[in-house]
Amino acid sequence: MDGFDEGFRYEIIEEIGRGGMGVVFRARDRRLGREVALKRLPDHIRNHPKAIELFLREARAAAALNHPNIVTLFDAAQERDTLYITMELLRGSPLQKVLREKGRLSPGTVAKIGGQIAQGLQYAHEQGIVHRDIKTANIFFTDKKVVKIMDFGLAKMVEEVRRSTTVVGGTPYYMAPEQSAGEQVDHRADLYALGVTFFELLTGHVPFSDGDVAFHHRHTPPPHVRDVAPGAPEALAALVEQLLAKRPSQRVRSAGDVVRRLAEIARSAA
């Protein structure tokens, strides 16, 4: 039922989640005796050899990342026709679920959570790795209130599958203008997606959700943060709006700058 042979290294215990990027199981590593989260990627990926190559290369590079705000990736491999990754097993919920339950978060909470996300991105960017798919569904909030970024190394594989088919996989609610246009992207695409994420946490919704969302991200000015979240401090609203600049050169320069500005906002609010 889980798609793995009886002699597979990992003993599948139970399913704990599923989404567009596959099914996640709680599993036990028979060799090391530890529990892990195992994500089995969608079956259709096997029809795209270049996507498989990208997945294995990018995920193994991501496994070298070692930071408290990034989910630790243990392994990325192919078992017969099944692609999978194993990572640290977390207790808590994706930020998307937290937001769905609460509606929106207070500016102070957004600054604290945002600072942790930005610290994880700063570290990854310093290692030359761009996430390319930052969104609330890919950010985990543990029961110890630690924020961890998930799914480093998977976005390039998804983009390759989309390029080789005529199907666009989902509406790009968080996608930077240059990314949705198919242009080369760098760390500033992550910063744009971070801005969308902050906007969503403050207001309860993404800046654009109707019509041609990719067109809006490229051409339509986003709503002013304080128009939809009047309680947001001016400095926080200004940071979000700068992250959402259409031109990469007009955004905040780095995730490190986001960390510093959020720290200043937190100090001024104390």
187, amino acid identity: H
- The whole-angstrom separation of Cα 72 and Cα 89 is 9
Pairing of strands 92-94, 82-87: unpaired
State CA 43 to chain mean position distance.
22
Burial 247-256, CB ≥16 within 10 A → b, else e? ebeebbebbb
Q: What positions carry a catalytic annotation?
A: 133
Among residues 87, 46, 195, 75, the alpha carbon closest in space to that of 135 is found at: 195
- The whole-angstrom separation of Cα 16 and Cα 37 is 9
